[in-house]
Structure 1
Amino acid sequence: MARRYPVVRTRRYWQAAFFFWTVFIGTLFTLWVFAHMRGAEPAVSRPPGVEGFLPISALMSLRFWLSGGGVHPVHPAGLAILLGALLMSATVARSFCSHLCPVGALSEWLGRLGRRLMGRTWELPRVLDVLLRSVKWLLLAFFVWATWVAMDLGQLRRFLDSPYNRVADVKMLLFFAEPSRLTVAVLGVLVVGSVLVRDFWCRYFCPYGALVGLFGLLAPFKITRNPETCTNCQLCTKVCPARLPVHKVSRVRSVECTGCQDCVAVCPVADCLSLAASRRFPLRPAHGVLLAMAVYFAVTLGFRLAGHWRGVVSEAEFAKRIPEIHSPLYTHVGGMAPGEAEPAPRLEAAH
């Protein structure tokens, strides 16, 4: 059994590497923003990868792209990252959450901290668990309605071109750099909750996870069990972070499965559990990790090679806009493109 644990380490190495890469990007971006706010010339360049934290803008860009408008030139990296996460999860079920998501990594680490401190993490009563899991779906439904239904294409284009959207990444940073008491309280609840309940944020509140979970239903590679060799030890079910009854099904088709392969690693019978398109075509555990990663990096690299990674907002424009970031021009009401009277729906909390 020990020989199978390297797949868990491999996934966690990638997870940790991407987390600290995200921290590095965030540090560069913070230095860049606050240099502009002081009116100084930044010593570092703006990292486009920070647009991964603009999922609402990316959803709008996705709709714009699918409507035939091409890749919108403001925050194109955000669209690339969103597409990478969706296609990665549509290949290996919801694998973005367990392999690359920095928030998912932090949530997993907090859960491990909880187990070290208390010997275990809590499992909420089934009724409360079901009710809380519905929150992420309600949030996803709201964001999809706000970006795909409430706006027509004209409003969508005006929002994407608006002064607000051009500096949405800066607004996002300042939201956390200058938090209100409510923001601090909510973040505190999420941190404590993640220590007490495994994957508290991911399981109950993350609309991004809900979205990639839907795409995971399309994935050909899912956790597959061979009932003929299964000993019914139930170790797979016990280690499943999504609390799925893996030992009872021949193929895991739940939107909650993140393709983490923890169940595969703990199974004492070789090839009883595997990540497979079918029982006849299983992948080696490490190959499943590499396949998921390859899809994501292929998408983002393709955007880079096509010249759709860095946005069109120039340093000179940022130097003008960032010092006045707190003006009414950079709200959803005041920040429409010049000459447009009808504002888009308010989505301040989304960024």
Structure 2
Amino acid sequence: MIAMGGSMARRYPVVRTRRYWQAAFFFWTVFIGTLFTLWVFAHMRGAEPAVSRPPGVEGFLPISALMSLRFWLSGGGVHPVHPAGLAILLGALLMSATVARSFCSHLCPVGALSEWLGRLGRRLMGRTWELPRVLDVLLRSVKWLLLAFFVWATWVAMDLGQLRRFLDSPYNRVADVKMLLFFAEPSRLTVAVLGVLVVGSVLVRDFWCRYFCPYGALVGLFGLLAPFKITRNPETCTNCQLCTKVCPARLPVHKVSRVRSVECTGCQDCVAVCPVADCLSLAASRRFPLRPAHGVLLAMAVYFAVTLGFRLAGHWRGVVSEAEFAKRIPEIHSPLYTHVGGMAPGEAEPAPRLEAAH
């Protein structure tokens, strides 16, 4: 097994470039999460927050964003409660539909953490483990079952009226706060599951991403549409198989002329280790390869173009006001802020749907 730690980043500029972006986005996410935590707990104490609510926290509301996507595609426009969540979801989907599933390897903070835990495992034990093939295939189906369930629940089981009522519901208006409290006040089951995922990620490379992440499954489907995929020139290939040995998705890169797999994240680790110039590349076709660093920058450009477009259009900050949050957060444990089977209770007088703030 080829070493995939810091030494690889030092040897190969494209790996270093990708990891810089990955680390920067991870720590930016931590910063956003810290601001949001301070803001929420100030409101829970009934105090005036010293910081503002960062809209980027809506990136941790993928189910709400998936529902907002359906609402938008159905002609309802950008729903104003969590517009940044929709922007982040669209950015992830479109960058992955440009450079194969690149969100997972370039920007996803959970993917970054999973990758770092895997490197920790290799440092502690000298290697990470690969599960037996049958178990590997069975576990990989879990993320697809989870994705199928969420798509069914949000796109099939709900009609448009139910969808609108959920998006306008008190629960959805404070879904970001509920998400924070889920981790800040975890049950024993939550702690146990998180513990298994952390230990599993140390022992098995990309344990969460490979087996359980429905978000990764979704962007993987969009990655199949990507024009820029890992492309191999069989005429210059020496069959050294370094590309296959280094592939985090365990794909047989040395056997195919073009990697068409939902598991490929476009990380370009295979391109980095290839000893033959231009044998492997990120390309729309063999005649139009990208320089490795340009592939990273293209993926970044698509994501930030989408999110910047939402900002410029006034669809970044939601319409739930500071005063409304100040009223709702102290009563967050009320039955009003629960949901059963995707249905959330409403209010006697539904909260108004205002125009998105500009």
Q: Distance in 1 between matches of 2:356 and 2:213?
A: 14
Percentage of matched positions with identical amino acids:
100
Q: For residues 90 and 197 of structure 1, do their structure 2 counterparts lie closer, same or farther at Cα, with a shift above 3 Å needed?
A: same
Q: Distance in 1 between matches of 2:220 and 2:191?
A: 28
Do the aligned residues in 2 keep the contact of 1:146 with 1:345 (CA within 8 Å)? Answer: no
Do the aligned residues in 2 keep the contact of 1:332 with 1:346 (CA within 8 Å)? Answer: no
Do the aligned residues in 2 keep the contact of 1:26 with 1:50 (CA within 8 Å)? Answer: yes
Do the aligned residues in 2 keep the contact of 1:94 with 1:216 (CA within 8 Å)? Answer: yes
Partner SS, residue 301 of structure 2: helix
Q: Distance in 1 between matches of 2:128 and 2:321?
A: 48
Which of 29, 41, 45 aligns to 2:48? It is: 41
CA deviation after TM superposition for structure 1 residue 52, in Å = 0.2
Establish whether residue 108 from structure 1 lines up as the match of residue 115 from structure 2: yes
Partner SS, residue 356 of structure 2: helix
Q: Distance in 2 between matches of 1:287 and 1:200?
A: 29
Do the aligned residues in 2 keep the contact of 1:336 with 1:343 (CA within 8 Å)? Answer: no
1:291-339: CA deviation from partner (whole Å, max 9, x where unpaired): 0000000000000000000000000000000000001000015997876
Partner SS, residue 14 of structure 1: helix
1:178-220: CA deviation from partner (whole Å, max 9, x where unpaired): 0001000000000000000000000000000000000000000
Which of 169, 187, 193 aligns to 2:194? It is: 187
Q: For residues 314 and 240 of structure 1, do their structure 2 counterparts lie closer, same or farther at Cα, with a shift above 3 Å needed?
A: same
Q: Distance in 2 between matches of 1:185 and 1:346?
A: 39
Q: Distance in 2 between matches of 1:344 and 1:95?
A: 38
Establish whether residue 143 from structure 1 lines up as the match of residue 150 from structure 2: yes
Q: Distance in 1 between matches of 2:9 and 2:107?
A: 25
CA deviation after TM superposition for structure 1 residue 281, in Å = 0.1
Which of 82, 97, 105 aligns to 1:75? It is: 82
Q: Distance in 2 between matches of 1:29 and 1:148?
A: 30
Output the TM-score relative to the length of structure 1: 0.95
Establish whether residue 251 from structure 1 lines up as the match of residue 258 from structure 2: yes
Q: For residues 310 and 259 of structure 1, do their structure 2 counterparts lie closer, same or farther at Cα, with a shift above 3 Å needed?
A: same
Q: For residues 14 and 2 of structure 1, do their structure 2 counterparts lie closer, same or farther at Cα, with a shift above 3 Å needed?
A: closer
1:250-289: CA deviation from partner (whole Å, max 9, x where unpaired): 0000000000000000000010000000000000000000
Q: Distance in 2 between matches of 1:72 and 1:346?
A: 9
Q: Distance in 1 between matches of 2:336 and 2:355?
A: 13
Do the aligned residues in 2 keep the contact of 1:164 with 1:336 (CA within 8 Å)? Answer: no
Q: Distance in 2 between matches of 1:294 and 1:148?
A: 29
Q: For residues 344 and 159 of structure 1, do their structure 2 counterparts lie closer, same or farther at Cα, with a shift above 3 Å needed?
A: farther
Q: Distance in 2 between matches of 1:200 and 1:316?
A: 42
Output the TM-score relative to the length of structure 2: 0.93
TM-align CA RMSD: 4.2
CA deviation after TM superposition for structure 1 residue 3, in Å = 9.5
1:215-241: CA deviation from partner (whole Å, max 9, x where unpaired): 000000000000000000000000000
Do the aligned residues in 2 keep the contact of 1:239 with 1:263 (CA within 8 Å)? Answer: yes
Q: For residues 283 and 226 of structure 1, do their structure 2 counterparts lie closer, same or farther at Cα, with a shift above 3 Å needed?
A: same
Do the aligned residues in 1 keep the contact of 2:170 with 2:347 (CA within 8 Å)? Answer: no
1:49-71: CA deviation from partner (whole Å, max 9, x where unpaired): 00000000000000000000000
Do the aligned residues in 1 keep the contact of 2:318 with 2:356 (CA within 8 Å)? Answer: no
Structure 2 unaligned regions, length at least 5: 1-7
Q: Distance in 1 between matches of 2:21 and 2:32?
A: 16
Q: For residues 121 and 344 of structure 1, do their structure 2 counterparts lie closer, same or farther at Cα, with a shift above 3 Å needed?
A: farther
Matches within 5 A, 1:1-351: 5-333=12-340
